[in-house]
Amino acid sequence: MLPFKDVELQDRTWIEERLRQSNFKSCDYSFVNNYIWRKPNRIQWADVNGFYCLKSGGEGEINYTYPAGSGDVRPVILALMEDAAERGIGFRLRGMNLETVKLMQTLFPDQFEYTNNRDFCDYIYSVERLTSLAGKKLHGKRNHIARFKDNPDWAYEDITAENIDECWKMNTEWCKLYNCVDDENLSHEACAVKQAFQHYFELGLRGGLLRLNGRVIAYTMGEPLSSDTYVMHIEKAFQEIQGAYPMINQQFLIHNCQDFTYVNREEDLGDEGLRRAKTSYYPDILLEKYVATLKK
């Protein structure tokens, strides 16, 4: 079997070079994403012919992710297929876009079935449009922000060593309010969020917070994903404060993302509330991510 191992901070330089070579827009191809979710999603990686290869899940339900890197990918995928066979499991390769699906069909004709699950599509938006919120469709977002600004005692700040503890305190309050402990999905997310806070500066994350009357009521964290796309990993706000979510979204883009064309706000994972929130911004791209399943 291939020598898969846990994702660690010391692996970052090598991994990010392979991610740059691929330049994918999917949130799956982020070292930060892979690192902070490594425990709840049981993510491990291997260097296969110079490609960054991931597997996730437990025995019997393992998924492999389409390799990131440069060069001939066919022997790499064959090695992953052999690894699955040695583990006695069916081979599933996830995270493919239409371009890599076409390549797979050329390299492995009639060997795979390809499916797309709406729950795992990435929501990608124009930075310019999400900053300006222009147009009739986003009129409601502008109204919510205007209501937020009715209270003049608000402020936006970049997250720094001086204020990050206040963000963690706000996050703890948020988890208590929404009962993260008793919700499996929120519990897993809380584990990832904790890793992001503990290693915020080592991971090179950028973040912003909103204050209202001096109190932190929202924060967000992200990083550059590809040459033209920024990715937002975490965003939290108190829902009862009108305009808090669209305000932190817009303010972070204004201060951190103007050199990028797109912002990826990740998946909705089938959560109805998240889907409504993300579709309400009318994504410019709903990035389909296909799974290739080896035919028996």
Over the Cα atoms of the chain, what is R_g? 20
The reported pLDDT for the residue numbered 201 is: 98
Between CA 127 and CA 62 the distance in angstroms is 35
- Whether residues 54 and 169 share a domain: the answer is no
The reported pLDDT for the residue numbered 190 is: 96
pTM: 0.95
The secondary structure element, H or E, covering residue 158 is: strand 154-158
Question: What pLDDT digit, counting tens, does each position of 100-138 carry?
Answer: 999 999 999 999 999 999 999 999 999 999 999 999 999
What single letter denotes the amino acid at residue 186? L
Asked whether the predicted pLDDT for residue 43 surpasses 90, the reply is: yes
- Whether residues 157 and 199 share a domain: the answer is yes
What is the pLDDT confidence band of residue 61, given thresholds at 50, 70 and 90?
confident
86 found inside a domain: yes
Question: What pLDDT digit, counting tens, does each position of 173-223 carry?
Answer: 999 999 998 989 899 999 999 999 999 999 999 999 999 999 999 999 999
- Whether residues 259 and 159 share a domain: the answer is yes
Shortest CA distance to 159 belongs to which of 195, 124, 201? 201
- Whether residues 67 and 167 share a domain: the answer is no
- Whether residues 129 and 254 share a domain: the answer is yes
- Whether residues 43 and 81 share a domain: the answer is yes
Between CA 33 and CA 27 the distance in angstroms is 7
Shortest CA distance to 203 belongs to which of 38, 55, 51? 38
The reported pLDDT for the residue numbered 278 is: 97
52-61, 145-154, 157-166, 199-208: segment of lowest average pLDDT: 52-61
Contacts of 213 by beta carbon, 8 Å cutoff, 6+ apart: 151, 153
Residues pairing with 236 in the sheet = 219
For residue 174, the enclosing domain spans 122-266
- What's the rounded mean pLDDT across residues 5-14? 97
Contacts of 37 by beta carbon, 8 Å cutoff, 6+ apart: 43, 192
- Whether residues 147 and 111 share a domain: the answer is no
DSSP state of 205: -
- Whether residues 128 and 259 share a domain: the answer is yes
- Whether residues 160 and 227 share a domain: the answer is yes
Q: What percent of the chain has pLDDT over 70?
A: 100
- Whether residues 196 and 88 share a domain: the answer is no
Between CA 217 and CA 286 the distance in angstroms is 29
283 found inside a domain: no
285 found inside a domain: no
Mean pLDDT for the chain overall: 97
Domain count, the chain: 2
272 found inside a domain: no
The reported pLDDT for the residue numbered 107 is: 98
- Whether residues 128 and 232 share a domain: the answer is yes
